[in-house]
Amino acid sequence: NVILTNHIKICQTLLYKSRLNDIVQYQYSLCRSLLDLIKESKNKNWHIPILILTLTDLRLLTNYFTSYISRHTDGNTSPPSQRIADLSIDNDRQTSETNVTKTIELLTEAFRVCTSDRCTEQRLSKKWGAIQILNQLLKLCHRIKRYELGEQLLSFAEQSLEFRHYLLEDQKMTYDYFLGKSYLFKDDYRKATECFDPIFQRCPRFMKKNKASILIHLCVSK
């Protein structure tokens, strides 16, 4: 079982603090195998929560490589988590760009697999996972300033994904945040305000960084 094998390899590399590059490759292989399994499953969507969880982990691991790219471009970088910082890292710009590109491509493919599902029964549809995967993709695209891809997928989601209205609160806030930024890029300040204003009110006070970011964009939109 490829999925189980790669999961065991990830656990081993974390245990012995092996190279981050190896962990990313194992996580990518795990996600790829799971996505291939989902493609073959007709009228079933029980795999989707597992896929979202593994893709989220892959995106978080890939964040380190986006920081490495940023150091070579504009000097801005976010420090890696302690868990990642403890790992052995043998890295260069080309490796970073390769890992980031592969993750973006896999997230995009997963999004398209979910949105193209033809199952008519809502509870069995894979479309339920599309927005959560899109949120992960948007976080990564905005981190490396690849806004054009996010714009295309957001436009598609707004036009075609009826399930976006049934998201959990945190996922809905994330989606509306990026949708608001999209409207800002288009100079549509009214719609941007309609996105930022509600999520600023709903964002918990203890999430100070998120609330501050929303407030900055809200001020710009007004």
Q: What is the pLDDT of residue 73?
A: 45
User: Tokens 């509306």 map to which residue?
Assistant: 176
Under 8 Å CB-to-CB from 4, ≥6 apart: which residues?
A: none
Token pair belonging to 146: 């690849």
More confident residue, 48 or 150: 48
DSSP string, 161-210: -GGGGG--HHHHHHHHHHHHHHHHHTT-HHHHHHHHHHHHHHS-TT-HHH
Looking at residue 36, the DSSP 8-state letter turns out to be H
User: Tokens 């996972």 map to which residue?
Assistant: 129
DSSP string, 102-119: HHHHHHHHHHHHHHT---
Residue 20 has pLDDT above 80, yes or no: no
Q: How confident is the model at residue 8 (pLDDT cuts 50, 70, 90)?
A: low
101 vs 7, 79, 108, 163, CA distance in Å? Answer: 22, 20, 11, 28
How large is the average pLDDT for residues 68-91?
49
What global pTM score does this model have?
A: 0.81
Q: What is the pLDDT of residue 41?
A: 86
Q: How confident is the model at residue 75 (pLDDT cuts 50, 70, 90)?
A: very low
23-37, 43-57, 150-164: range with lowest mean pLDDT: 150-164
How large is the average pLDDT for residues 121-147?
87
10-24, 104-118, 161-175: range with lowest mean pLDDT: 10-24
Report the SS3 class of residue 19: strand
How large is the average pLDDT for residues 7-12?
64
Please give the Cα distance from 140 to 69 (Å, whole number): 13
